[in-house]
Amino acid sequence: MKNIKVIAAFVAGAAIAGSVATASTNSTSVVKACADKRTQAIFLSSNGTCPSNRTLVELGGSAMNTKAISSLVTPSVVSISVTAPSGSGTGSGSVYKTESSLSYIITNNHVISTAASSGTIKIELTNGDQIAATIVGRDPGYDLAVLKVNKGNLPVIALGDSSKISVGDPVLAIGSPLGLASTVTSGIVSALNRPVTTGTADAQSYVNAIQTDAAINPGNSGGALVDAAGRLVGVNSAIATISSGGASGNIGLGFSIPINEAKRVIDEIIATGKSTRPLLGVSFDSSYTGVGAKIFSLTAGGGAEKAGIPDKSVIRSIDGVKVANSEAAIVRIRSYAPGSTITVVVDLPSGGSKSFKVTLGSTPSL
């Protein structure tokens, strides 16, 4: 059997940390929109009605209207080009927030990290306009970044609820693979809670990812994964590729950062320019080869110590989700906000298992 490894869709270096997939109860609602009879452009309807020059359409429900959703969402997804001393590249992003004179774009950290200290970043709108962008803040640990452009009143992408999607739900991936702007591909949610690590040793990110078979290729990074109602449920971040020979590209294994996880980080960056991440208060034993995550040491005053977890315990599950190894434990922990209380089940050094309630600490992400 060929070995498979996961690489970031914009830069190389990722690995699947575990293999946990769970489905949640689906509660996809219907969103009403208006299709312009002349241009076929789609606009959200605030009251469920449309003027005479537009036709009412419904998005969501049991089927996906890919044509309508593509028309609705594509104007909110931008292409990103980066030029820096260490090289250039392209990626994607979504308009997250807009005001009268400026707008915020969300993307992956690995799309823009080469220009963090020097270089230029530009976004391109669907009408071809190119606008200079600056970095508001970035978080390598979550592979997220926020850009700002001095152009207001851009079409903002609607936010969904990634906790409400289920395995098998239809999704669209929208972005600029290989620099081809406004590319739309369709697929389904293949798995949830898929622990994925990407990046390099000095910029490692941990994602409790949505897995999809919607075609994602280099350049799709930072683009939108939307549900059947055209709402953002994930930020496309990484792909899997065959490690032995052949060019990298889509093989039906793409990974997106759930928007519920991303939103906290994005909002913190917009508000303060920085973000935080949760801390369990342990370091893991990298030499441990058994199932679970073995604690090498406890942080004095950290959440794990306060909860009474003994040193050298092996974490087996977090809030009911089994933990395969230390990377999967880190991914799971980072899916929570600082200050959250989680249930950690461990195998005790003395034998037997025990459940502990742990309140997560907080630390700056960058």
Distance CA 199, CA 224 (A): 20
φ, ψ of residue 315 in degrees (nearest 5) = -75, 125
Residues in a beta bridge with 36: 54
CA distance 292 to 299: 19
CA distance 114 to 335: 26
The full 3-state SS of 168-221, as one line of letters, equals CCEEEEEECHHHCCCEEEEEEEEEEEEEEEEEECCEEEEEEEEEECCCCCCCCC
Residue in the block written with tokens 């593509």: 70
- Tokens 């320019």 sit on residue: 273
Question: What is the token pair recorded at 29?
Answer: 């609602």
Catalytic residue flag (residue 143): yes
Catalytic, out of 221, 313, 326, 365: 221
Amino acid at 150: N
Residues 139, 143, 169, 347: which is the catalytic one?
143
Q: For residues 244 and 203, is the Cβ–Cβ distance under 8 A?
A: no
Q: Among the options 110, 213, 317, 335, which is catalytic?
A: 110
Residue 47 CB contacts under 8 Å (≥ 6 apart), including other chains: none
**Rounded distance between C-alpha atoms, residue 103 and residue 358, angstroms:** 38
Task: Cite the active site residues.
Answer: 110, 143, 221
